[in-house]
Chains A and B, each alone.
Chain A
Amino acid sequence: MLKAWILDFAYFLNTSKKYQTFKTFFYNILENEKYKYKKYLDLFMMALIFTSVAVLIREVKYPVNDYLRFFSNYVISIIFLIEYLLRLWVNSSVTKIIIARAEHDTFLFRDVNLQKAFRNVAKVKLSYILSPQAIIDLLAIMPFFHELRLLRIFIIFRVFKIFRYAKSFQILFSVLATKKFEFLTLGIFASIIIFISSVLIYVMEANRNDSPINTLFEAFYWSIVTISTVGYGDITPTSNEGRFVAIIVIGTGVAVLAFTTSLFVSAFTEKLDEIIEAKTIENISKLKKVYLICGYERVASEVAKKLFLKEYSIIVLDADIQKVNQAKQDGFTALNYDPGIVASYKKLDIDITKQVKAILCLNENDVENVYTTLTIRSLHKEVFILSLLMNDSNRKKLEFAGIDKLVYPQELIGLITKELVGKPVAFEVIHELRSEDSEVSIDELGITQRIVDNFPTIGSLVNKEYRVVLLGVYKTDKDRFYFNPLDSTLLEVGDYLLVIGYHVFIKEFEKYLYTKVKNA
C-alpha cells in the first residue's frame, strides 16, 4: 500500500509541470551559470558573507549591536541553511531514481524494490553532502549555534563560500588541478624534507641548554619557517650540526619555491588560451543580433567592419589561426574553430534561432563554402545563409547545399561596368545611396499599426516637408514594390516605405511617423 502510494507520488511529481518548473527555477538560480538572474543571487550571498565576517571582526574588540548579531547568527544562518537544503534538493532527482528502479523491475517482471531505490537516493545525496563545497556550506551554517563559542570560528568558513560565487577562483582551481601530479610530488618531497629536518634539528639541538629548540613541535615549526624561506629568526640553531641542517633546508627551500613558482606559471601558460576561449564563449552566449562569419578573408574583413559599425555583433570562425588573429586585431570576436565541422557550433554554445541573424560563408573558395553550408544545414534548416561564389560553374552546387543568397563578385563587375559606361551619373547616384559614407542614403521604414492609424494613405505622409523623397512602398504580403504610388494608396501594417534623403532628415521623418500623437 505504502509502496504504491510512494510510486504514484513519484510519478505524479515527475510529470507535474508546476513542480518541474519550480525545481528548474531553483536549479537555474543556484547552479546554472548561464541563467541571467543567477548573478543577483550570487551578489546577495556574497554580501551576506562579508556582513557576517565584518561582524566577527568587530566582535573581537568592540561590542556589537544585538540586532546585528542576531542578523549574523540567525538570519544569515537560516538563509544559508535554506540554500544548503535547496542545493541538496536540486542536485539530483529522487523521483527519477525511484521511477528508474520501478521501470527496471517491472520490465523484468519483478516486484519493485524500493529499498534499492532509496539506497541509490542515499548514495547520490551522500556523495553531494560529502563534496568539499557542500561541506563548506554546512560549516558556514554552524555559527547558528553561537552559544557554543568554538563554533563561532566557523564564520570564517563562510568566506570559503565565496569560492562558489566567484568564478575566478573556480578557474584558478581548475588551472592548478591540471598540475595535480606535479604539486603532489612536490608536496611529498617537501613533507619528507620537513620531517627529516625536524627530526634532525631536534636530535641535534634539544639537549643543548642554549638552544631555543626544546620540543619536536618547535623543531617542526623551525623547519617550516626555514624551508619556506621566510626565516623569522625567532628560533635558530646554535650547534654547528644544527646549522649544517639549516643550510640543507635553506637550499632545498629555494629549490622547492622555484619549482612551485614555475608550476604555477606553466599551468597558467598552458591553460591561458583555454581560459580566454571559455570566457569568449561565455560572452558569446549573451550576444544578440549576431552575424556569424565563416572564413576571414578580404571580403569578410570589409563586411565585418560595415556590420560592426551598424552595432551588430560579429563572430568569426576560421580554421586558420593567422586569420583568427587578424580578425582579433581588427576588433572582432574570433575563434580558431573549423566552420566546416559540427563540433565547432556545439562548442560555440549559441542558439542559432534566437541569436543569429545570418551566417555568412565568405571563404574565397567554393569548396569550403559548400562544406560549411552543408555542416550548418545539418544543424539548422532555417537560418539565413549568404555565401560568396568564386566560380560560376559551382553556382548549382552551392544552391543545392542550401545557401539562401549567393554573391558572385565577377558578375557584379560585369553589371557595374555595363551600367557605368551607359549611365555614369545615374550609377554614381545609386552607388552613393548604397554607400555607408555618403550623406544621402536610402532607407526602409516599417509601417506599424500606429502609423496606419495616423497616416492611412500615402498622400497623408508629409515626407516633402522633411526633405525626404518617397521612392515607393513595398507590400510584404504581395512581395511587390510599388514605385511612386498614388496619393490614395492605402498603407498597411507590414509595408515598408522606401525613402531617400539625408540621414538626419530621414531620422526626423521616422521619428515624426512613430511618435505622432493620434488626432493631434
Chain B
Amino acid sequence: MIWQFLVNGLITGMIYGLVALGFAIVYNTTRIFHIAYAAVYMVAGYFLLYFFRTVGLPLYLGVLLAIAGTIAVGLATEVLVYSPLVRRNSSSNVIMVSSIGAMIIIINVVAMLFGNETKILNPGISGTISFGTLLVTHTQLFQFFSALIIFVLFFLFLKYSQFGIKTRAYRDDPVLSEVMGTNTLRLKRTLFMLSSFFAAVASCLIAYDVGMNPYVGMPILLNAVVALIIGGVGRFEAPVLGGLIIGILQSFVVYFASARWQDAVTFSLLIIFLLLRPQGILGEKTRTV
C-alpha cells in the first residue's frame, strides 16, 4: 500500500518538478519573481479546452496550439510588464507587485470568457496498468514519461548547446555575459518562452487528467516555489529534486494523516528551509541581488 503512495507521489512530483523548473528558468537567471507564472500555467489548460473541445481539433493539435498560445502569453508578460520595469532598475518588490497585477488580470479575463466553474476535458476514466500490486493509470504513465523526456532533453541542452552555455553564463554573471557579446534581451525572452513551455506542458497533462478552473495556477505555483527553495535556488536540477521531494512528502501526508494537512506540511517545510538552509539542499552560494 505504501508503495502505491510512493509511486503516486513520484508522478505528482515529476509534474511539480516540471512546473518548478519552468519557474526556476526565469528566477535563476533574471531574479524576476514571476508570480504571473501561475496564470500562464492556468491559461494553457483553457487554450487546450478551447482548441480541443470548442473548436474540435484532434488532441495532439490542440496541445500544440495550447503550448503556442501559452508561450505567447508568457512572452507578453515579459515584454509588457517586466521589461519596462527592469529597464528603469526597479526593485524586486516593485516587480513582484506588478507580477501580482498581471496574474490578477489574466485570471479574471479567463474567468470572464470561460466562467468561474471547473471544466472537464476528458469525461472518461483512464485505464490502468498493474505492476504486481501497484496500479498506475495510463494518464499517469504518460505524465511520467513526458516529464522524464523533457527533463533529459533540457539538461542535455543546458549542458551542451550554445543556448545552454549562454543561459548558464547569464545566470552566473549577467553583466559579464552581456559584455561578452550575448544578446541578453533576446536570451531573456527565449528563457521566458521556454519557461512558459514547461508550464504549458505540465498544465495540459494535469488539465487532461482532472480538469481546470481559473484559479488552479496559484496552488501549483506555490508548490513549485517551495520545490525551488528546498531544492536550492541557482541550480537547474534543484527544482526537479525539490518537486520530487514535495510530491512524495505530500503523498505520505495523505497516507499517514489526511489530504487536508498537505498544505500545512508543505509550507512548514518552506519556512523551516528558509530559516535553517535558505540556499536549499543542493545549496550553492548565489549572487546577491
A and B from one assembly?
no
